[in-house]
Chain A
Amino acid sequence: MAWHIIALQQLINGLALGSVYALIALGYTMVYGIIRLINFAHGDIYMLGAYFGFYAITMLKLPLVPAMIVSMAAAAVVGVLLERIAYKPLRNSSRIAVLITAIGASLLLQSTAQLVFGASFKPFPQAMAFRRIQLGPVFMTNRQLLIFGVAVLLMVILHVIVQYTKLGKAMRAVSMDKEAALLMGINVDRIISATFAIGSALAAAAGILVGMYYNRIDPYMGMMPGLKAFVAAVLGGIGVVPGAVLGGLLMGVAENMVVTLGSSTLRDAVAFAILIVVLLFRPNGLLGKKGIEKV
């Protein structure tokens, strides 16, 4: 095959993977935008979402779409509880204390999952037969199409919520100025909870999609995609919702390109190399605004 066809094929693969990163990155970015916290446990919520989906399909015998909704709801509850129990009491503590708590929460979710669901991987039930869709010289699998479609649909829904609903307006207000929002009579605690709920639900959806894509789930599956999605959020400009989408897609494509060019073990280094370059040369990300620090 000519190299440009390979590149095109990897672009398609990258967009599918990237849309998953984008879904996870949205949660990071929304939470960061509102309480300036890197929710380290976000990747683990994505993992839990995959497990919830798994059990909804295998035990509750639900079809894919209802299973996804159940899993998203359950993950939202976990996200809200996490915020209430672990993060809320620390709202006025040092950033380092909060960050350590987030790392602790991540480890806790991981090891609890390992204990409850078992350490070994589970094959994810397939909701549809595998098919290739030929697009000229390149192809797309129906799973990739599903991932991409569901991701886009969820992003559109999120966009509508953030831009056009009362909740969305309140979220934007809180992220701009928490004190002012409080004075305007916005229930900041509720908005923060809602943000965690929405972010967690998106991550859960991503978990199910990836479970289907790779056909397996395990308790540690959240670690790497979680970190990479965080990098995607930083790349796009953390706190900026469209930035997360852009960052996620770029990350997915970059990763697949590197796999084409060289060894697949280098793939995990790509994300971090991107991160360090971005932080050095464009610390506010591609779409981020410059922050000011008052003396």
Chain B
Amino acid sequence: MNKLTSLISGAILLFIYLLVQLLERQGILLAYHVQILSLCCINIILVVSLNLINGFTGQFSIGHAGFFAIGAYASAYLTVTWQVPFIFAIICGGILAGIAGLAVGLPALRLRGDYLAIATLGFGEIIRVIILNTDAVGGARGFSGIPKYTTFGLAYLTAIITVVVIRNFVNSDYGRACLAVREDEIAAESLGVNSTYFKVLAFTIGAFFAGAAGTLFSHYLQYMAPTPSQIGFVKSIDILIMLVLGGLGSITGSVIAAIVLTVIPELLRGFAEYRMIIYPILLILVMLYRPSGLLAGQEFSLASLAQLFKGAKAHGNHS
């Protein structure tokens, strides 16, 4: 059963990839459409990685764009100045962001809840201001002339790797320790869980993937602007909205929310002003009536679908 479902999942994922390739070659999907699909993949990476920190470990971070920015700029600097191979740049972008995650995770040990939230927000803004003042990456003018190395296929593959890695992490003892820290830090400690270590670990892994997403992003758009909406707190809050609407602690929810909330604004381009009214209202309503998000910790998978067909009660596989 288990082998079979992963085989089927793999086949479906491959099919989607081939379908996109085919439609693109036929001219049915335009470059603009493929760009949106690639952005979907990048946002999936961002939201799922933020979910590890916020949803699974319960550390409220709203500075995810900071890690994203580090990956985006550092990798672009590497490819532009030193012409390093792209794969290497992705990994470097991820590792540098991961180191930043480590640096942010350490203070997280001493801060809780809302204080941590503000500190991470502040961290993100500091990163942005530093970039704004660094001429080597274009400073306030923005960073242009980045080679276009990111393809849809690469973004798609990275998104799949991210989802699989984080899902497996969450379903291992390491992930359970993170859940324990989220649920009750004192009880977790009394059971031998070093809560400090797991907070830092979650931040580091989450930041690594956010950095990778940044790399993909900068090498897709070929231009980075140090604005709040691209690498600042507006971006962080965008990611947070996707996470919350999809549901803290639900990977499936993150994936779906990332796709839906990337595509819908593109469809509703004429309503851009209303979007920023509807989102916050949605956010507040979800918190009032369904605070665990629309999918509320549930996971959707082929296995659970099969169980549903069998008439058995389907339930999340991590919780």
Contacts and interface: CB of A to CB of B under 8 A. Distances in A.
**A touching B, CB within 8 angstroms:** yes
Interface of A: 37-38, 86, 89-90, 93-101, 103-108, 110-112, 114-115, 227, 230-231, 234, 263, 265-266, 268-269, 271-273, 275-276, 279-280, 283, 295
Contact of A230 (B118, B125, B277, B288): B118
A269 B280 contact: no
Contacts of B122: 227, 231, 271-273, 275-276
B283 A100 contact: yes
Contact of A263 (B113, B133, B240): B133
B276 A107 contact: yes
Contacts of A279: 107, 110-111, 115, 119
Interface in B116-170: 117-119, 121-123, 125-126, 129-130, 132-133, 140
Contacts of B186: 295
Nearest to A275: B122
A294 to B, nearest CB: 10
Contacts of B119: 275-276, 279
The 4 closest A-B pairs by CB, nearest first: A272-B122, A104-B283, A111-B276, A108-B280
B223 interface: no
Contacts of B274: 115
Contacts of B288: 86, 89-90, 101
A273 B115 CA distance: 14
A100 B117 CA distance: 10
Given A104-B287, A266-B133, A234 B277 contact: no
Contacts, number: 119
A99 B125 contact: no
Given A90-B287, A266-B129, A276 B123 contact: yes
Chain B residues touching A, majority SS: helix
Contact of A265 (B62, B132, B284, B291): B132
Interface of B: 54, 58, 60, 62, 107, 110-111, 113-115, 117-119, 121-123, 125-126, 129-130, 132-133, 140, 186, 237, 240, 244, 248, 273-274, 276-277, 279-281, 283-284, 287-288, 291
A259 to B, nearest CB: 13
A295 B122 CA distance: 31
Interface-central residue, A93, A98, A99, A263, by most chain B CB under 10 Å: A99
A38 B118 contact: yes
Interface centre among A94, A104, A227 (most CB of B within 10 A): A104
Contacts of B126: 269, 272-273, 276
Contact of B129 (A265, A283, A295): A265
A171 B288 CA distance: 26
Contacts of B118: 38, 227, 230-231, 234, 275
A227 B117 CA distance: 12
B283 A112 contact: no
A107 B126 CA distance: 21
B196 to A, nearest CB: 14
Contacts of B113: 95-96, 99
Contacts of B54: 96
A22 B246 CA distance: 38
Contacts of A90: 287-288, 291
B240 A103 contact: yes
Contacts of A114: 273, 276
Given A99-B117, A283-B110, A104 B125 contact: no
A108 B277 contact: yes
Nearest to A268: B129
B287 A97 contact: yes
A105 B107 CA distance: 28
Contacts of B111: 279, 283
A112 B287 contact: no
B125 A105 contact: no
A98 B284 CA distance: 9
Given A99-B60, A269-B126, 19 more contacts: A98-B287, A100-B240, A100-B244, A104-B279, A104-B281, A104-B287, A105-B280, A111-B277, A227-B122, A231-B118, A231-B122, A265-B129, A265-B140, A268-B129, A269-B129, A269-B130, A272-B125, A279-B119, A283-B110
Given A97-B291, A99-B113, A283-B115, A107 B283 contact: yes
21 contacts: A86-B288, A95-B60, A96-B58, A96-B113, A100-B240, A100-B283, A104-B283, A105-B284, A111-B273, A114-B273, A115-B273, A115-B277, A227-B118, A227-B122, A230-B118, A265-B129, A271-B122, A273-B126, A276-B126, A279-B110, A279-B111
Nearest to A111: B276
Contacts of B110: 279-280, 283
A234 B284 contact: no
Nearest to A271: B122
B43 to A, nearest CB: 18
Contacts of A106: 280
B140 A86 contact: no
Given A95-B114, A276-B123, A280-B107, A101 B129 contact: no
Contacts of A234: 115, 118
Contacts of B115: 234, 279, 283
Contacts of A268: 125, 129
A59 B117 CA distance: 40
A35 to B, nearest CB: 12
Contacts of A103: 62, 237, 240, 280, 283
